[in-house]
Amino acid sequence: MNFNKERFANFATYDLTINKSFYRNMALVTIAGAVCIALLGFIMRYAIYNSVVNNTMSGPEYSFVPDAYSFEGYNWMYFTAFGEMGFLLIMLQIFAGCWAHNLRNKQGRITELTLPATNLEKFTWHALVVLVGGFILCILSLLLADGFNALLTLISFGTENGIKSLTASVGEMCSAQNILETVFFRGFARNPEGMNMPQEATPYFSALTALVFCSSFCQITIYFLGNAFKYKYNIILTYVALQVIGTILSFVFTISGALGATSGSLMDVAFSEEDAINMLTAFYWTLAILSLVAAAIFIWWSYNRYTKAQITSSFNK
């Protein structure tokens, strides 16, 4: 394949120049959304802090006396971290669904397809700017939101109880095992020491975490592929298609599971707890690998569609 670095750089410079307002607006929306979520999380934690400090729930009508755990609650960042992760994942999907925005109208297709660069060079730039550039933008937005949250925490609470990092909390929430131990066991059981998972379950949770990351990336590439098929309203159409497919698959799996349980074919095989964990671990790793393979296929398919793009396209008017 003919790939020239100088032509690639020239096309990248042209795209950043001609679409600077588009990229700027996307960046501002991402940053503003991340900061707003941090602000909402801070307001929630501030309300918890006031309720504990002012003993609003320790009167005679309540049988509650604030303990050390109560004062730690206002510094929890995990719910805010979940909000940030969900928002940034949505933004990554939107980024992926905008890589072919130059092809939305006829004049854009004329300009895009007649530029002095090969299809591989142009497609590579589009893929890098939305996938890699979008990921970097999300990280920077998270860091800015973290700094904003730290500033509000410092002003309102001081430093005597420490300032929890929002970025670190997002990193902790990336582990399936940590989510169960921290949020469910330690959070709802009010156990300061937490409830640790058995050591033999660690490979299982590692496989589950890998599956979540790989399947999330695969979902992002589905939006990437959707833009290759449809230049307008592709994000909405892709979302609807995923919901329909997910509903159908859920229905099929539910019916299959019910039929299997009714037939009793699965009841004849007995598995130990260790065997079940090992089987699920292998199953999750297999699904994770298949997700990466599917993501690679979706990107290749998108490139194949891009090479066949035409200036006149009735489907994308």
Task: Delimit the domains of the chain by residue range.
Answer: 5-316
For 125-131, which contacts have Cβ atoms below 8 Å and span 24 or more sequence positions? 125/8, 125/11, 125/12, 125/15, 126/15, 126/99, 126/100, 127/99, 127/224, 127/299, 127/302, 129/12, 129/15, 129/23, 129/99, 130/95, 130/96, 130/98, 130/99, 130/224, 131/95, 131/96, 131/220, 131/224
pLDDT tens string, the chain, 317 residues long: the values are 678 899 999 999 999 999 999 999 999 999 999 999 999 998 888 887 777 666 655 554 544 445 545 555 666 788 888 899 999 999 999 999 999 998 888 888 888 888 888 999 999 999 999 999 999 999 999 999 999 999 988 888 777 667 788 888 888 877 766 666 665 554 444 444 444 555 556 788 888 888 889 999 999 999 999 999 998 889 999 999 999 988 888 888 778 666 655 555 544 555 566 667 778 888 989 999 999 999 999 999 999 999 888 877 666 65
Write down the pTM of the prediction. 0.83
